[in-house]
Structure 1
Amino acid sequence: MSRVRTRSGRAARIQSQKAVQTRVAPVRRKMNPLEVLDQEAIERIHDASMAVLEEVGIEFRDAVALEHWRQAGADVVDQRVRIDRALLMELVGKAPSEFPVQGRGASTGFMMGGDTSVFCTMKGAPFTRDLDGVRRSTTEADVINFARLTQACPSFHMAGGFTCEPMDIPVAHRHLFMMRHHMVETELPLFGIGTSRERAEDCVAMSRIVAGDVMENATSIFMHASGNSPLVWDEAMLEGARVFADAGQAVLCSPFVLAAANTPADVAATIAQVNAEALAAIAYMQLYRPGTPVVYGQYTVSISMQSGAPMAGTPEVALITTAIGQLARKYGVPWRTSANHASSKSFDAQSGYEGATTLLTAFNAGANLMLHSAGWDEGGLAICYGKFIADDEQNQLMARYAGGISLDRFDEAMDAVRRIGPAGHYLGDSFTLDHFRSAFAMPEMMDFNSFEQWTSSGADDMAKRCRERARLLLDEFQPPQMDEAVRDELDDFVARRKEQIDPTFR
């Protein structure tokens, strides 16, 4: 990889700073979550969700799940399952309100749920906007690079696992290499791939190789079970979810909502449908294996009625997200939303506005898992190196915001007011000298210099500054330690499974 050229001014300062920073601790939110619905409205939506599951029903397109529901006393006709609300809520009540998460690294543990929020990168992009700002198909080299950036950037507590899709690797074997690279290049808990029973089994087996006994007491690998809205859970997702549940690992139960396309063209009704879909999956996981750690998921965007394209950062999506947070707290389960979403086709003002809106909404709504919190553009079709770095910095800033206002040094700071008095300044005061580095955030990727300073430093825009930072992090990357025998076992597993899997498997 080419080195970043030596520059004067800001670029030189970015180059000279230590590339790997201390990881931000899992965020403990100090502010009460925003609520957009009163209690009467929440109960009305809850009741509507229950009515959907009792009267309309939901399809479980999986013979094993249908038999489980039949034995539990649900009304099962063909693939349609109608679930009595008492049974449903009894099952949902068995889901843990919090559960431990731990990667292979000793310092990567946290509790999922409660007042804790954690960041995870985006997942699944088939296209990449590269280090030169050019859009192209994602390659295996990009998978490795983004795994390394996930490890090197300080805001991430989880790795995406399938952060981007290497189009130069056949589909049949792709999951093996995506998992392998994230397990080697990061030490974080991560998402596995459960789009078939076989892929889920491979991911869990690989995680056991690298995480070992950690998986006996904590979640090291998550399954992202994506619903097929409206009101369908497919066999592939349910098969994968059962594999993860059998391993004692967590399942994200996440309807996939394009509001007004696969939900009604109404905000409240969309919330009711999403709630019914998510609760049905959460209840099933508890029916299958009581106590399975689950996350209430929702991926929601609205669509343009002109083009049909997904739109991020809109007011309706913010309202839906915030209301889902209220419902998840009602049921006592951790919940996920998406952060730093953008539909823009370049790393531009639209991308920034969309990402800022979704990130701020996620924190104000009190989400536990901030998914897709770096790199997301084009509605998830593209991952952008520059935006990945910018999002990481925004995550760090938002973590400080969510931590609220501390009074730990308040009395000492007020003593400075008494010392300085009217018409003075605090720049040389002892309190300022002791605390200025930590008192206020000092972002590196955003430019706060004068026009003249910015011009003399090269007049680079933020996208270029972020790409330079990505190059620097990759040039200086040091992989987390892994026992050589563990790495050999992991590589042997990948090689063996590659030979065993039918290359035509989809």
Structure 2
Amino acid sequence: MTVAAETGKRRRGRAAKRHRKPEAAFDAAWRCWRNPYPPIEQFNAAEIEAIHTASMQVLADVGVRVLSEEARRIYVAAGMTDAGEQVVRFDPDLVEALVSNTPSETTLYGRGDSRNVTIGGKMVGVCTTGGTPNFSDARNGRRPGSLAALDDLCRVAQAFDVIHMIGPFVEAQDIPPNLRHLAMTRSVLTLTDKVPFVFFRGTQAVADAYEMIRIAHDLTQEAFVETPVSYSVANSNSPLQLDHLMCRGIIDAARAGQLMVLTPFTLAGAMAPVTLAGALTLQNAEALAGICLSQIVRPGAPVCYGSFTTNVDMKTGAPAFGTPEYTKAAFASGQLARRYKIPLRSSAVTTSNAPDAQAAYENQMSLWGALMGGTNLLLHGAGWLEGGLTASAEKFIIDVEQLQMFAELFKPVEVSEQTLGLEAIGDVGHGGHYFGTQHTLDRFEAAFYSPLLSDWSNYENWVERGALTATDRAHRIFCETVNAHEPPAMDASRLEELDDFIARRTAEGGANLDR
């Protein structure tokens, strides 16, 4: 049974109205984030340059093991050195030249103008969690991911304007791997109209997903290559290794003109040096190596510089998220990305196994580090739990509350003759109140952020209503939002062509995930 089944169809529409913002004007601000604050910088300019220089030395002297023969040929043809044993060594000057081709800003196009997302500069795009093997909710607990769970998460993501892009959420483990990409991509394209994610799981699977997205957007093949309508993540296999599927994905995305986010998974003390400066040196070297491959294949291909450096628990070796070290690395990664004029990707993450206080404060620490570090693309913005092993229904709603609060924080504050309120101050005078002034009555409905999840009632009223915790309320909101979902419009001919394509590829056996 899906989470949605618990609340019943009778709540359709009522929940949507309950959680609607006071004014439609809020939609624009929440759908299009501009961070007005200067980024926090972890290092001074000389220290950033030292990390850059050390990264170039790593690329030139140690090199990167590239497991894809095709990728090695591409590197060497561009002027890099084949050092043998699948290792490529990089010319620092050539690296700088290639990286200079990257666009500093990319607009991703949703299936409607209001769903377009600009990545770069001061703009921020927010997407959901993705790639988790498990799904959990308060009623049914933790279980393997399924297509039904993915569908419910898509329905909820569609409802909130602070979610701009759709992550892959959970693995639909009830669908065979060779067909899974077809089912999951169809769910995202039909249940949402936001920018979708494409996994790098072999050229056939990538090509299938791109074709499905092209059909949904009603684009010609030529227009698709010139129109970024999806995003993907390539993770280097730290330390200093690019595997076959990631190389293949980088090449495929560049040729298709789709956004690629190169993200090293550098765990300080495990797959990276234990010092933050050393871990960032390795992260930077790996990120630049992958970005170079994309720019050789197609100069100007859209990319993001991915930051995911964190530390491990040195007592157990387990990854730790939402730590001070993670936040410092996010600040520093922003400085490195800005040095190369490449948009930055960061994440909102936690190690907690439950949507509890630990999850909230670790998530807030990493979210604050990402946004105040100047990120342009926030991955895992809603739903991440258990170090990325679980997508949580309740955590999704808790995260949406935090995201909405940041969206409000980013809205400018007007200072004008009207907002200074001198007339109201004079009318109230000494010892009065402002509840009944015309100044208040004209503005009270949209004056302040109205929470989705927080309960601002007093203790007695809270107890009378059942003494529900934030997690309890989040579960209820998730279920109600699922039931209130209405699929976004898609032309019938588009849907028919999409389903015909899926039927044909299914009959052909789906994708060979090794190619």
Identify whether the pair has TM-score above 0.5, normalized to the shorter chain: yes
Q: Does 1:219 align with 2:246?
A: no
Quote the residue 2:269 is aligned against.
Answer: 260
- Give, in angstroms, the shift of residue 496 of structure 1: 1.8
CA distance in 2 between partners of 1:479 and 1:117 (Å): 25
Name 1:459's counterpart in structure 2: 467
Larger deviation, residues 260-269 vs 53-62: 53-62
CA 185–411 in structure 1, closer or farther in 2 if over 3 Å, else same: closer
SS at match of 2:113: coil
Alignment counterpart, residue 417 of structure 1, candidates 425, 443, 454: 425
**How far apart in 2 are the matches of 1:253 and 1:105?**
27
Contact 2:266–2:282 (8 Å) recurs in 1: no
Residue 295 of structure 1 corresponds to which residue in structure 2?
304
> What are the superposed Cα offsets for residues 226-268 of structure 1, whole Å, 9 maximum, x if unpaired?
1111111111111122222212111111111222110000011
Q: Distance in 2 between matches of 1:56 and 1:408?
A: 59
What is the CA–CA distance in structure 2 between the aligned matches of 1:33 and 1:405, rounded to whole Å? 19
**Structure 1 144/158 Cα, relative in aligned 2: closer, same or farther at 3 Å?**
same
- What are the within-5 Å matches in structure 2 for residues 104-503 of structure 1? 104-130=111-137, 132=139, 134-160=141-167, 162-213=168-219, 215=224, 217-339=226-348, 341-408=349-416, 411-501=419-509
SS of 2:414's partner is: coil
Q: Deviations over 1:131-163 (max 9, x none)?
A: 515111111100111111111122111111x21
* Closer, same or farther: CA 85–504 of 1 in aligned 2, 3 Å: closer
Please list the CA deviations of residues 153-205 of structure 1 after superposition, one character each: whole Å capped at 9, or x if unmatched.
Answer: 22111111x21101111112111111110011110111111121111111111
Q: Distance in 1 between matches of 2:375 and 2:183?
A: 30
The structural deviation recorded for 1:404 is 4.8
1:63-142 map, 5 Å: 63-78=69-84, 79-130=86-137, 132=139, 134-142=141-149
Distance across 2 between alignment mates of 1:490 and 1:84 = 45
**CA contact 2:322–2:366 (8 Å) conserved in 1:** yes
Give the partner amino acid of 1:372. H
- Partner Cα separation in structure 1 for residue 477 and residue 356 of structure 2: 17
Letter in 2 for 1:100: T
Tell me, in whole angstroms, the C-alpha distance in 1 between the residues paired with 2:15 and 2:372. 34
SS class of match (1:125): coil
The answer for unaligned runs of 5 or more in structure 1 is none
Hey, what's the Cα distance between the residues in 2 that align with 1:334 and 1:458?
46
How far is 1:327 from its partner?
0.7
Does structure 1 conserve the Cα–Cα contact (< 8 Å) formed by 2:135 and 2:145?
yes
| DSSP-derived class of the 1:256 partner | coil
C-alpha distance in 1, partners of 2:288/2:311?
21
- Which shows bigger deviation, 213-222 or 117-126? 213-222
Between the two proteins, the alignment pairs up a number of residues equal to: 500
Cα deviations by residue, 1:429-471 (Å, 9 ceiling, x for unpaired): 2122222232221213111211111001111111111111111
Conservation of the 8 A alpha-carbon contact between 1:172 and 1:503 = yes
- Amino acid in the other structure paired with 1:152: A
**What letter is aligned with 1:231?**
L
Q: Select between 255-264 and 319-328 the one with higher mean Cα deviation.
A: 255-264
Distance 1:242 1:504, change over 3 A: closer
Query: Normalising to structure 1: TM-score of the pair?
Result: 0.94
Work out the CA distance in 2 between the residues paired with 1:61 and 1:128: 33
Distance in 1 between the 2:426 and 2:285 partners?
58
**How many angstroms apart in 2 are the aligned matches of 1:145 and 1:263?**
37
Partners of 1:430 and 1:220 lie apart in 2 by 47
How far is 1:216 from its partner?
Answer: 5.0
Deviates more, 1:239-248 or 1:469-478: 239-248
> In structure 1, how many angstroms separate the alpha carbons of the residues matched to 2:328 and 2:374?
13
CA contact (8 A) 1:20 1:152 kept: no
Instruction: Using structure 2 for the length normalisation, give the TM-score.
Output: 0.92
CA contact (8 A) 2:159 2:485 kept: yes
> Are the counterparts in 2 of residues 155 and 393 from structure 1 also a CA contact under 8 Å?
no
After TM superposition, give the deviation of residue 482 of structure 1 in Å: 0.5
Distance 2:487 2:8 in 1: 24
- The reply on whether 1:38 has 2:44 as its aligned counterpart is yes
**Once the 2 structures are TM-superposed, how far is the Cα of residue 415 of structure 1 from its aligned partner?**
3.5
Which sections of structure 2, spanning at least 5 residues, go unmatched?
Answer: none
Write the distance in 1 (CA, Å) between the matches of 2:284 and 2:512. 37
Question: Residue 205 of structure 2 contacts residue 511 of structure 2 at CA under 8 Å; is this kept in 1?
Answer: no
